[in-house]
Amino acid sequence: MDVDVAVIGRGMIGGAAGRHLAEQGRSVALIGPGDQYSSHGDAARITRIVGRTGIWTELAAQAIGRYGDIAERSGIDFHVPCGFLAAHLDAADWAERAAVYGSDARLVDRAWVRETTGINISNDLDLVFEGAPGGYIRPRRLVAAQSRLAEAAGATVINAEVDSLRGAAGGFEVSGSFGTISARQVLLATGAFAGDLAAVQLAVERRPRTVVMVEWEGFDDGREIPSLICDQPVDERVEGIYWNPPAEYPDGVRRIKIGGNLAAFVPLEQDQLVDWFHSDGNPDEVDSLSVNLRALLPDADFGPLTSKPCVITGTVTGYPYIGWIDEGIAVARGGNGSSAKSSDEVGRIAAGLFSEAGWDSSIDQSIFTPVHV
Ligand SMILES: Cc1cc2nc3c(=O)[nH]c(=O)nc-3n(C[C@H](O)[C@H](O)[C@H](O)COP(=O)(O)OP(=O)(O)OC[C@H]3O[C@@H](n4cnc5c(N)ncnc54)[C@H](O)[C@@H]3O)c2cc1C
């Protein structure tokens, strides 16, 4: 098979890039396994227009603006706009920036939060609340929707890993259990598991994270739990926490999921990833997250708890790397723990690299320039 572009990595960003490329009329092979060793094998990811910087806000707003279209055309629902709450030093700035994009984000007080959501915030940071579209997305479903639309636009979707990438006359040979595909150009959207497919190595930090999932249906008295980010939590072994409200997992059980930034984390080397993904995560992080969850939801009657390891791919710039790293090879990698919600925009910008017009974003290209080791 011959294609214009082989997109390697069918996660949140690769799936989006594959769809945009195919819908722009390019012949595309979108190659990657399901959600094994990925950052999206999960039931929920926070979505919100309010962001830590103007760039994150722009990326999220553009992506969120297309959620409805993706869901409608693919027939796969993935967005739950149940609202988003943050306790953060810069909450007022978050709200101000997001208002430009039509967000209803506003500062709220503790008493209102406690009464309407049951959440008990004990620090004295400002609180910002964003109603719909704030809430969460279902990452596996979004990837499925992107794959379905890419296929509908003519892309070949291959559910397998790429084992090797070799330069060849007129482009590249991309090989795996599926055989060999010839591609004129390649986009690497491989998340934390980049391996050695390309000769050029990027400066990324693989940050181990542990998430705790607790069986809980939510309150039955009408109080609706929004997605949450809370800096300065009660137990400070984690510097900040986030959660997704109770969402249904593949076993049919609803769980609230909490995670955070362990203050004392040690980055993982590429060859440590598989062992990490087969562990239960960091016990100290599990304990701290459990303490924080109970402090934040004192009225909740929680069921059993499980924990799971995960990895965040951090870049030197703090933003995803989107750009060419070698003749014919571009990357879209480095979600920095924040790119699920914005993956459609990151993928769209990456797809633009392959067009004649090139860079297609109001954000300066230099922000996303890949940094080599
Ligand atoms: C615990 C956790 C919580 C998070 N919470 C949020 C949140 O609330 N909101 C938010 O916006 N973001 C969140 N994120 C970040 C978000 O999930 C990531 O930014 C996003 O998934 C990055 O997308 P990606 O496509 O780069 O990586 P992934 O989604 O991991 O996809 C990469 C894919 O590449 C595949 N791959 C790797 N090597 C190969 C190969 N050789 N051949 C073929 N395929 C390959 C992998 O299997 C994987 O499927 C969170 C991340 C984690 C880990």
DSSP string, 232-250: S-SSTTEEEEEEEEEEE-T
Q: What is the pLDDT of residue 42?
A: 83
Best substitution site from 45, 188, 238, 346 to test ligand 1's pocket, by max atoms within 8 Å of Cβ? Answer: 45
pLDDT at 139: 96
Q: What is the rounded distance in angstroms from the CA atom of residue 289 to the CA atom of residue 258?
A: 7
- Tokens representing residue 83 in the block: 């609202």
Q: Cα(205) to centroid of ligand 1, in Å?
A: 14
Cα 350 to ligand 1 centroid, rounded to whole Å: 16
What are the E-state strand segments in 159-271? 162-168, 171-176, 179-188, 204-215, 227-231, 238-248, 254-262
- According to DSSP H, which parts of 12-90 are helical? 12-23, 54-64, 67-74
What pLDDT, on a 0 to 100 scale, did the predictor assign at position 212? 97
Spell out the domain ranges in the chain: 2-41+140-203+317-368, 89-136+204-315
Q: Which atom of ligand 1 is nearest to the CA of 337?
A: 15
Residue 37: per-residue pLDDT: 62
- Going from the Cα of 229 to the center of ligand 1, the distance in angstroms, rounded, reads 19
- Assessment of whether the complete model's pTM goes beyond 0.85: yes
**pLDDT at residue 195, as a whole number:** 67
Q: How far is CA 249 from CA 27, 146, 178, 222, in A?
A: 35, 20, 30, 22
C-beta of residue 333 within 8 angstroms of C-beta of residue 320: yes
Which of 193, 146, 204 has the alpha carbon at shortest distance from 28?
Answer: 146
CA–centroid distance, 170 to ligand 1, in Å, is 30
Task: Give the strands of the sheet with 84-87, arranged side by side.
Answer: 106-108, 127-130, 84-87, 227-231, 238-248, 254-262, 204-215, 305-315
Residue 293 has a pLDDT of 98
Q: Which token pair is 24? A: 């722009």
pLDDT attached to residue 36: 66
Pocket around ligand 1 at a 6 A CB cut-off: 8-14, 31-33, 36-40, 45-46, 161-162, 189-191, 193, 195, 197, 209, 211, 242, 259, 310-312, 333, 335, 337-341, 343
| H-helix or E-strand spanning residue 156 | strand 156-158
Angle at 21 between CA 15 and CA 27, to 5 degrees: 110
39 C-alpha to ligand 1 centroid (Å): 3
For domain 2-41+140-203+317-368, give the CATH number.
3.50.50.60
188, 336, 185, 207: which is closest to 262 by C-alpha? Answer: 207
- Digits of tens for pLDDT over the chain (373 positions)? 999 999 999 999 999 999 999 999 999 999 999 776 666 778 999 999 999 999 999 999 999 999 999 999 999 999 999 999 999 999 999 999 999 999 999 999 999 999 999 999 999 999 999 999 999 999 999 999 999 999 999 999 999 999 999 999 999 999 999 999 999 999 999 987 766 788 888 999 999 999 999 999 999 999 999 999 999 999 999 999 999 999 999 999 999 999 998 888 889 888 888 898 899 899 999 999 999 999 999 999 999 999 999 888 899 999 999 999 999 999 999 999 999 999 999 999 999 999 999 999 999 999 999 999 9
Distance CA 174, CA 182 (A): 6
CA atoms lying within 13 Å on the CB side of residue 360: 18
Q: Is the Cβ–Cβ distance between 219 and 118 less than 8 Å?
A: yes
- Specify the fold of 89-136+204-315: D-Amino Acid Oxidase; Chain A, domain 2 (3.30.9)
d(CA 149, CA 147): 6
Residue 269: the pLDDT is 87
How far away, in angstroms, is 345 Cα from ligand 1 center? 15
